[in-house]
């Protein structure tokens, strides 16, 4: 079974805007199934598509299975079957031995920037960059699944 162990944090916008960043990648994603304890997501990037199944969260861990699919299939599934969706630009930044994935949201979630770090185990130590602020790992409002149906700008 695939397990995702992930912590989420908000970002200091001023420090983020001054940061020398790599080029971001646009993600369009939609949810075919979007329930409290399980989701099925389609994600399309500029050159690939993925279908992802996620299970119930237990702390900061949950089951996750992700498979690459043909991009044109992903676009069609997103258009024909998604019940909710969102767009964001993802930036990958390596910091002190860990990969940080920073999502800058667009549309009704514009203004929200969330940093995620995936860990090998829940107790794994890591250092936060100075542009990382409040932890929101346990606040379900910040999950992409919920942001697709109750966007940040509606809070």
Mean pLDDT of the chain: 97
* Residue from 31, 91, 142, 152 carrying the catalytic annotation: 31
Length of the chain: 155
Look up residue 37 and give its two tokens: 């304890």
Chain segment 98-118, per-residue pLDDT in tens: 999 999 999 999 999 999 999
- pLDDT band per the 50, 70, 90 thresholds, residue 1: low
- Of the candidates 50, 44, 49, the residue with the CA atom closest to the CA atom of residue 26: 44
Task: Check residue 135 and give its pLDDT.
Answer: 98
Q: Is 50 a catalytic residue?
A: no
Structure confidence at residue 133 as a pLDDT band (50, 70, 90): very high
Query: Tell me, what's the pLDDT at 91?
Result: 98
Contact (Cβ atoms closer than 8 angstroms) between residue 65 and residue 47: no
Asked if the model's pLDDT at residue 130 lies above 70, the reply is: yes
pLDDT tens sequence across 29-47: 999 999 989 999 999 999 9
Distance of CA 148 to the CA centre of its chain: 11
Question: What are the structural domains of the chain?
Answer: 3-148 (2.40.320.10)
């Amino acid at each position: 079974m695939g397990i995702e162990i992930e912590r989420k944090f908000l970002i200091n916008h001023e420090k983020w805007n001054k940061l020398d960043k790599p080029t971001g990648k646009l993600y369009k994603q939609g949810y075919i199934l979007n329930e409290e304890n399980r989701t099925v997501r389609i994600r399309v990037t500029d050159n690939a598509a993925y279908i992802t199944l996620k299970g119930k969260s237990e702390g900061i861990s949950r089951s996750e299975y992700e498979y690459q699919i043909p991009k044109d299939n992903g676009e069609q599934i997103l258009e024909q079957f998604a019940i909710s969706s969102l767009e964001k630009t993802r930036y990958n930044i390596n910091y002190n031995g860990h990969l940080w994935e920073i999502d800058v949201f667009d549309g009704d979630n514009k203004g929200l920037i969330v940093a995620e770090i995936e860990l090998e185990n829940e107790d794994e130590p890591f250092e936060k960059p100075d542009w990382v602020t409040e932890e929101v790992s346990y606040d379900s409002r910040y999950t992409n699944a919920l942001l697709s149906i109750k966007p940040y700008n509606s809070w």
